[in-house]
Structure 1
Amino acid sequence: MENEIHVENYKIQQPDVWAGNIGDQELINRIKDSDFSQKQIEEGRDYCYFLDKKYYTSNTENSEYACMAYTLNEPANLERASVSDIIVEENEVYYIHRISVLRDGVLVNKIPDTKIKVLDSEGQSGGGILSSNKKINITIKDLRLYDVLILEDSRVKIFTERDFLRKEFSKYVWVSPDNYWAYGSYKFTFINERDKVIAYKKTFFRDDQGNVLEPEINYLKKGEKFSVEEEEYINPVDTGREIFPYIDFATDNNWNNLSNYISPIYQEIFNTSSLPDFAPNLVEKLDAIPDLEDKIQFAIEFVQNNIYYIFNADEMNGHKPQEPAITYETKQGDCKAKSVLLKVILDYIGVDSSVVLVNFHTDFYIKYYLPSLLTFNHVIVKINHNGEEYFIDATVRDEFGLLENRGFIYFMHYLEIKPNQELQTRKAYKYPYYCIDEKVEFKAQNTTGKLKLTTTYRGNRANAMRRYFKNTNRREIVDNWNSFLFYSLNYANDRNGTDLRNVFKEASIDIVSDDKKLNEFKIQYHSTIESPYFVDPQKNRFLMYFDRNVVKENARNFVHKDLPFWHNFDSEKYEITLQTDQKIDVEEKYTIQESAISNPYFDYKSRKKINKNGGTVYIEYNPLVNLEIEEKDFEQFRKDHHTIADSNFGLGIDIIEPGLMNRLKFSFKKKFK
């Protein structure tokens, strides 16, 4: 075997005593075909004869062990088994205990045919992602179709002083196995060798009828184990509509005690030095700004844009932040460092703020998890100002606006770093402005149409559009707008396959204004369209403009038994005017149809003014966001979105063709419609 550099990141040896020891004959005896295995293999499902997983935690280490035997009956599976990567953290060692195959009833040791390389795992360092993780690349030669591959390995993480939080607290989430696999035997064991009691909570397990059972909490003292065992097992979870059952293991604790543990660590950092001592130049700039609102904006954008964000994965595993003087001097830091510096600046200008712990990726699950500081993976700043709460992510860039005009961060749960805190849930939110405010004017005369869109973006939309226009070629932007308008004007149904640049002539898009205090970004689009009417197969002509972004398809199509619908839509306002030099049907049902919806989670209004040559529709959509739609309310919520989709998201007008025969035909059609 070719063992290259960095052998300290992996070793080949027998498993530790806690993991047990399986002999060769015992392995062979466990790899037995059965009616169950034959059925799975015949159906083309990957089959695992057995999988034994163990998680071991003590005051000095966390370790995971696995021993499994599975089929290589598919070429794709053979490829994946032949070359694999293992990522290990700093001070984590990957132990290889066994790599073998059972081939024609004979156990063959494949370690001599295994090549191992250890590489740095810093693929994102250019974006400020720093990590001393290593990638262990394992290549096994001469694996063959219909081999049974046997892998036995473990990974051991020895705690260092930097891992003081992991030393103090344990956190592990076991998730029921992927239902892609069929298992002859599956076993998971959690072993507690810590001095402190570990609680475990079983969540989203189901009864025989598929109903979710109430969460169940139990406890493990030092030396105790917990196991899950299944035989001839395929996980029955309905992945499209159900959450995988999982068990949360965490050192037994409560949020109040945890906040009292972490807050002194941050307070010590806050007390290290004052802003005038380490940043006199910054203080001079702050003092020169007369208005408090401008000071707050300056403080936020200084930290966001002038302090380089470095995410050090190893540092994030602890919770002791960098001193603000160091962050200011080096002009770099992780989320903790940047948030602490921002709070110190806000303290100086007299604005009430605090540092809070969040995890955007697992936000939904936090209310189900056991209390643990290791649940969180990000730090942001909460500002209390003029009776309102604002949350600022100090790690983002190119965000603008006075405090009330800045972008909104969607999440629900957080722990404030102050004494005696409980897990908090944010209030629902209603935008004080329209995120999208658009005016559409489309005028058709003779055989030509003139189209103009004037759009103002605010909040998150303004920040996103500002970045988009900064980073994207203008020709590409125009093409994207043309593509959107091709469907909005319904041209996809009468001239599909046409080059859009031949449909939208002289198309241009320009930035009209960019107000970085109001955080308003305004653009204007122009184009000329020959043959502006949509023509149906019966040669009837229509002018149509329906903005499909208004129709929330994910709300209409949402189906899940466990997850509530997360409501995070933007507020929107549209004024759409269609004018022509032709007469139109001013009594057509959908042309004059209006709507007014008052749902607990959003208000929607569609109002129209119709004249003999066209009309205008005024649309307003005001959602209550950052909350979950309760199950009892969801069907009405869905129904109301169906109502919006029923021709209430734009305007269409029918042309009455000139000529006596056409008018008689139109009159006859109306009578018998």
Structure 2
Amino acid sequence: MENILESESYKIQQPENWASKIDDNQLIEYIKESDFSNKQVEEGRDFCYFLDKIYYTSDTENSEYACVAYTLNEPGNLESASARDVIVEENETYIIHRISVLREGVLIDKIADTKIKVLDNENQSEGGILSSSKKVNITIKDLRLYDVLITEDSRVKIFTDRDFLRKEFLKYVYITPSTYWAYGNYKFTFINDRKETIAYKKTFFRDENGNVLEAETNYLKKGERFVIEKEDYINSFDQNREIAPYIDFATDRNWTDLSNYISPLYEEIYSKSSLKEFAPKLVEKLDAITDKDEQLQFAIDYVQNHIYYVYNADEMNGHKPQEPAITYENKQGDCKAKSVLLKVVLDYINVDSSVVLVNFNSDHYITHYLPSLLTFNHVIVKINHKGETYFIDATTRDEFGLIENRGFIYFLHYLEVKPNKQLEVRKPYKFPYYGINEKVDLTAQNQKGDLKLVTTYKGNRANYMRKYFKNTNKREIVDSWNNFLFYTLNYSGDREGTDIRTIFNDASIEIVNDDKKLNEFTIQYKTSIENPYFTDQQKNRFLMYFDRNVVKNNARDFMHKDILFWHNFDNEKYEINLQTDQRIDTEEKFTIQESTINNPYFDFTSRKKVNKNGASIVVDFKPLVNLEIPSADFEKFRNDHHTIADSNFGIGIDIIEQGLLNLLKFNFKKRLK
């Protein structure tokens, strides 16, 4: 082996007493061909002869052990086995017990052919993310196709004082294995060596017909084990439409216990020192603002934009919040530190607020999980103002507006950091404003079109578009709008392959208004178009404008069996006006078609006005958001979105060509309708 000196990040030694003891003879005995293994190899997949996994937890450490033997029949698996990375946290050690191959019936020790490097884990070093985790890079020389690779290793995480939450509480989610692998023998063991009882909850396991079984919760006292063992095993679930079965292990506590545990830690920090003492200049600026709404806006803006966000991965799940005085002085902190500082500032200006724990990434699973503080991975601030409840992420940057106009954060579950609290569920929400309000005017005269779009974005949309215009090249922005209009005007149907810039050859786009208080961002796009009409294969001409963004294809195509559809659309309003110097068919079905949809989860209307030379449509979409659509309501919800997609998301007009023959042709078509 090339590395003689071991690092703190890895060691080479025998397994701990709680782990399995497997000698070379047992290994060879385990690796036997069978009808089951031969079938998998014949189907062109690699085969795992055995996998023995153990999770061990005590009051001083969390550790994982694995011993696995699998074929290297596929070049991709051979490549990944030859060189891989293991990420270890601070005070975590990766321990190698065995690296061997079984080649033509002979067991060969590969430790001597293994090169190990320890690197800083720089994958997330940008953007204020700090991590003292290490990357253990393992390279094994001379692995060959059709070898059987055997690895036996452990990861041991010894708790420090910073890991007080992990010392006090366990949280571990066991996820059943990938559907790719077939296992001759599969074993998973959970060992509880803590003084506290561990609860475990089996979720999304299925019966023989694929129906989800009711979740089952049991308990492990100190010294007890939970074991799953299977032979000739393939995990069978639909990866595209089903959640993998998993088992959630957590220290047996309820939400009230947990809120009472965490709230004193924050209360202690709030009371460390007063804002007047550590931030007199900030207090002076706050006092100079007489309008309460503007004072609140200033407070949020200050913490979001003047305090640099530093995400410390090692401290997120175990460290007490940083004192607000330190956060203010250093002008940096993680989500806990920034949220605490914001709350202290809000306390000073007498705005009711509290810190809340959330997990945006796993929000859907929180009610399926057992209660645990380690479920959460982020901290934000809840604000009660003028009878309304708002949630502010203190780590967000470049957000603007009075509090009612700021970006909306989508999530469902949270735990408020106050005594005697339960897990709370946010109420569904209706926006009081339009995220997009757009007016489109397309006028066609003498075979030339003039197109103008005036679009006002608000809330999340305004924040995003403001950043987009700030950080994106102007030519790229214009090209993006041109590309969108190429499909919206249906030019993709009659001039596919044409350079889009030649169609919209004088296109321009400008910011016409940026109101930081209302958080409204208005832009104007203008262009002229040679030949603005779409022409079909029969040489019929149409003027069309169908904005496909109005059609919510993710709602129409949603097919998941275990996850409910998450409803998070904006209010949208579009006024589209098409005018031409040609006569049009004022009775064409799709030109005059209107719609009214009153779904429990959204209201949609399209209203039209038609004259001899043009038509207009107003599309109004108002959803009820921040909720999951219940299964019983989803098919109607989906079908109503299909109705929107059936030509109710824009407007088209049919040109009646001049001349007697064209008029006779039009009248004939009209009689056939």
So what's the TM-score if we normalise by structure 1?
0.99
Structure-2 separation of matches of 1:4 and 1:437:
66
Aligned residue runs from structure 1 range 131-530, under 5 A? 131-530=131-530
Q: Is the 8 A contact 1:401 1:519 kept in 2?
A: yes
Distance 1:412 1:642 in 2: 27
| Aligned mates of 2:4, 2:645 — CA distance in 1 | 61
**Deviation by residue 1:606-651 (Cα, 9 ceiling, x = unmatched):** 0000000001100000000000000110000000000000000000
Report the 3-state secondary structure (helix = DSSP H, G, I; strand = E; otherwise coil) of the residue aligned with 1:618: strand
In 1, Cα distance between equivalents of 2:605 and 2:317: 49
Query: Does the 8 Å contact 1:122/1:129 carry over to 2?
Result: no
Q: Structure 1: how far apart are the matches of 2:6 and 2:601? A: 57
> 1:8 aligns to what SS in structure 2?
coil
Q: Is the 8 A contact 1:457 1:520 kept in 2?
A: yes
Corresponding letter in the other structure for 1:546: F
Q: Could you tell me which amino acid in structure 2 is paired with residue 158 of structure 1?
A: I
Q: Which runs of 5+ in 1 are unaligned?
A: none
How far is the alpha carbon of 1:124 from its aligned partner?
Answer: 2.6
3-state SS in 2 of match to 1:191: strand
Letter in 2 for 1:649: F
Task: Give runs of ≥4 in structure 1 deviating > 6 Å.
Answer: none
Is the contact made by 2:119 and 2:137 (CA closer than 8 Å) also made in structure 1? Answer: yes
Corresponding position of 1:79: 79
**Matches of 1:77 and 1:202 in 2, distance apart?**
31
The answer to whether the 8 Å contact 1:122/1:130 transfers is: no
1:81 aligns to what SS in structure 2?
helix
Q: Shift in Å at residue 230 of structure 1?
A: 1.4
Q: Deviations over 1:430-462 (max 9, x none)?
A: 000000000000000011000100000000000
Deviations 1:534-562 (A, max 9, x none): 00000000000000000000100111111
User: 2:35 maps to what in 1?
Assistant: 35
* Superposition pairs of residues 16-35 of structure 1, within 5 angstroms: 16-35=16-35
Equivalence map 1:531-550=2 (5 Å): 531-550=531-550
| Distance across 2 between alignment mates of 1:526 and 1:456 | 15
Contact 1:10 1:93 in 2 (8 A): yes
Residue 9 of structure 1 aligns with which residue?
A: 9
Shift of 1:180: 1.2
| Deviations, residues 346-402 of structure 1 (Å, cap 9, x unaligned) | 000000000000000100000011010000010000001111110000001000000
CA contact (8 A) 1:9 1:92 kept: yes
- The question of whether the paired residues in 2 share the 8 Å contact of 1:89 and 1:134 is answered with yes
Alignment of 1:581-592 (within 5 A): 581-592=581-592
Deviation track 1:571-608 (CA, whole Å, cap 9, x = no partner) reads 10000000000000000000000000000000000000
How far 1:278 sits from its partner (Å)?
0.2
Q: Is the 8 A contact 2:45 2:74 kept in 1?
A: no
Please say if residues 415 and 424 of structure 1, whose CA atoms lie closer than 8 Å, have aligned partners that are also in contact.
yes
Report the secondary structure of 2:321's partner residue: coil
* Counterpart residue type for residue 42 of structure 2: E
- Whether the 8 Å CA contact 1:4–1:116 is kept in 2: the answer is no
Q: Is the 8 A contact 1:250 1:370 kept in 2?
A: yes
Matches of 1:386 and 1:125, distance apart in 2:
41
Cα distance in 2, alignment partners of residues 433 and 178 from structure 1: 45
Question: 1:498-537 CA distances to partner (integer Å, 9 max, x unpaired)?
Answer: 0010000210000001001000000000011101100000
> What is the identity, as a one-letter code, of the residue corresponding to 2:91?
N
AA aligned opposite 1:259: S
Between the aligned partners of 2:87 and 2:164, the Cα distance in structure 1 is 22
What is the identity, as a one-letter code, of the residue corresponding to 2:331? K
Q: Distance between the aligned counterparts of 1:266 and 1:672, measured in 2? A: 75
Structure 2 distance, partners of 1:512, 1:586, is 35
Residue 231 of structure 1 deviates from its aligned partner by 1.0
1:17-47 per-position Cα deviation (integer Å, ceiling 9, x unaligned) = 1002100010000001111111111111221
Q: Deviations over 1:91-116 (max 9, x none)?
A: 00000000000000000000000000
Instruction: Give the aligned partner of residue 90 of structure 1.
Output: 90
- Name 1:595's counterpart in structure 2: 595
CA contact (8 A) 1:41 1:47 kept: yes
CA distance, structure 2, for counterparts of residue 254 and residue 619 of structure 1: 48
Q: Distance in 1 between matches of 2:40 and 2:125?
A: 43
Query: 2:623 is aligned with what amino acid?
Result: P
Closer, same or farther: CA 593–8 of 1 in aligned 2, 3 Å:
same
1:650 alignment counterpart: 650
Distance 2:318 2:287 in 1: 35
Match of 1:49 in 2: 49
| Counterpart code for 1:488 | T
Alpha-carbon shift at residue 6 of structure 1 (Å): 6.3
- Give 2:566's aligned residue: 566
Q: Which amino acid aligns with 1:283?
A: V
Tell me which amino acid in the other structure corresponds to 2:106: V
**SS of 1:297's equivalent?**
helix
Aligned residue type for 2:17:
V
Comparing 201-210 with 89-98, which one deviates more in the overlay?
201-210
TM-score normalised by structure 2 residue count: 0.99
Measure the CA separation in 1 of the matches of 2:178 and 2:435.
40
Q: SS of the residue aligned with 1:19? A: coil
Q: Give the conservation status (yes or no) of the 8 Å contact 1:438–1:574.
A: yes
Between 1:313-322 and 1:8-17, the stretch displaced more is 313-322
One-letter amino acid matched to 1:238: D
Whole-angstrom distance in 2 between the partners of 1:167 and 1:287? 44
How high is the sequence identity, in percent, across the aligned residues?
Answer: 74
CA distance in 2, matches of 1:319, 1:89: 15
SS at match of 2:633: helix
CA distance in 2, matches of 1:6, 1:300: 48
Paired with 2:133 and 2:329, the residues of 1 have a C-alpha distance of 27
Partner of 2:620: 620
Residue segments in structure 2 that go unaligned for 5+ positions in a row: none
- Mapped partners of 1:6, 1:578: distance in 2: 74
For residues 437 and 274 of structure 1, what CA distance do their matches in structure 2 show? Answer: 44
Please tell me the residue identity of whatever aligns with 2:440.
Answer: V
CA drift at 1:4: 6.8
Cα deviation for residue 319 of structure 1 reads 4.1
Number of residue pairs matched?
Answer: 673
Contact 1:541 1:654 in 2 (8 A): yes
Q: Within 2, Cα distance between the matches of 1:375 and 1:26?
A: 39
User: How far apart, in 1, do the equivalents of 2:505 and 2:94 lie?
Assistant: 62
Q: Secondary structure at the match of 1:466?
A: helix
* Structure-2 separation of matches of 1:29 and 1:258: 48
What do residues 139-177 of structure 1 show as CA deviations (whole Å, max 9, x unaligned)?
Answer: 000000000000100000000000000000001000110
